[in-house]
Amino acid sequence: MITISNSEIQTFKDCRRRWYVLYYLAKQPSVQQITGATNLGTKIHAALEGYYNPAIKLSWREACHALNMMYELDMNVCPDAEEALVKERELASTMLVGYFDWLAETGADEGLKVLSVEREIVVRLTDDVSLRGRLDVEP
């Protein structure tokens, strides 16, 4: 049985060679980027997971601190990228604080009872193919 994710499908649609190298051959780039949209999004996502995860339950301030600490760790590992990391951290902090401000203004997540965070789901499409994904929040 083949199990695929939406990311894998999008990679295949965008560039079949990239899909072949990343998913079929399971090769990763030898040089990983320390900054950029993927890393920024991963850090914000991790901070929000700490905020929403019922097992962790960070306050909004603690989530912002966790985000800051992720950037501090990266700066310790890659001091030559400090300037870029500081700039990206400012953007990430603005985005996260803006999200929490928006929640305070709108109450968009009031009454939300989070049961799990990042739960993997697999849906069988055919006898031979399943689609794999993650639920960000399962209300």
What is the Cα–Cα distance from 102 to 30, expressed in whole angstroms? 39
Answer for the pair 88, 70: CB distance below 8 angstroms, yes or no. Answer: no
Q: Tell me what pLDDT residue 115 has.
A: 80
Q: Tell me what pLDDT residue 1 has.
A: 77
What is the Cα–Cα distance from 19 to 4, expressed in whole angstroms? 12
Q: Tell me what pLDDT residue 100 has.
A: 98
Residue 70 tokens, joined? 């992720």
Q: Tell me what pLDDT residue 81 has.
A: 95
Alpha helices per DSSP H over 20-119: 37-52, 60-77, 82-106
Q: Tell me what pLDDT residue 91 has.
A: 98
What is the Cα–Cα distance from 44 to 126, expressed in whole angstroms? 35
* Higher-confidence position of 114 and 85: 85
Q: Quote the pTM value.
A: 0.77
List phi, psi (to 5°) of 116: -160, 160
* pLDDT grade for 103, boundaries at 50, 70 and 90: very high
Q: Tell me what pLDDT residue 122 has.
A: 93
Chain mean pLDDT for the chain = 91
User: Strand 2-5 to strand 129-137: parallel, antiparallel, or no bridges (unpaired)?
Assistant: parallel
Q: Tell me what pLDDT residue 137 has.
A: 67
